[in-house]
Amino acid sequence: MSKLADMIFFRKHGLCPRWLCFTFDNAFRRLVQDPDRIISPYVGQGDTVLDVGPGIGYFTIPAAKRVGAGGRVIAADIQEAMLRGIATRAGRAGVRDRIVLHLSAPGEIYAGDPVDFILAFWMVHEVPETERFFRQLRAALKPAGRLLLAEPKLHVSRSQFAGETAAAQRAGFRLRQEPSVPLSHAALLG
């Protein structure tokens, strides 16, 4: 049954292509997964946020609005087309000056100044070396910072998610809570 579920829900397939991103930002998703409601407990004025694998900015742009003029959001992706999409959409939203576009190398997502909050939303299942990935995120996070990890329930099995959170803990994170995120497995780590 597990192999059948893997096939039906397109599990274990690699990077999400840019052409599929139109499905990520629509009115239905906003009703179910309001990005501002999901990130508001963790992101405030003046914060520095790292949005890892941001797609075309579904969370990046709301985060940029929340951090205000004194904060910034680093959108880190290995696909340049995704970053171009964020630049265009952020310009239209009037927050382009708060967003740093970071083209990551496949083995190194981000190695800049420490951040207050990291969002890894529906993307860790695409990472080939999860423990190494989480070690990089741990190094990028301020001591009191938090990481919100969320994975799609229909795409990532409960056991796969448990493996991801175990890899994060081996990399130095502690599980703080398991927040409720619609359609997702979620963990708040610090």
Rounded Cα–Cα distance for residues 30 and 183 (Å): 12
Q: pTM of the predicted model, to two decimals?
A: 0.87
Q: Which domain holds residue 135?
A: 2-189
Give the pair of three-digit tokens for residue 132: 């190494």
Q: CATH number, domain at 27?
A: 3.40.50.150
- Tens of pLDDT along the chain (190 residues) come to 455 444 334 444 455 554 445 556 666 666 778 999 999 999 999 999 999 999 999 999 999 999 999 999 999 999 999 999 999 999 999 999 999 999 999 889 999 999 999 999 999 998 999 999 999 999 999 999 999 999 999 889 999 999 999 999 999 999 999 999 999 999 999 9
Give the pair of three-digit tokens for residue 69: 């003029």
Q: Which residues contact 28 (CB under 8 A, 6 or more apart)?
A: none
Number of domains in the chain: 1
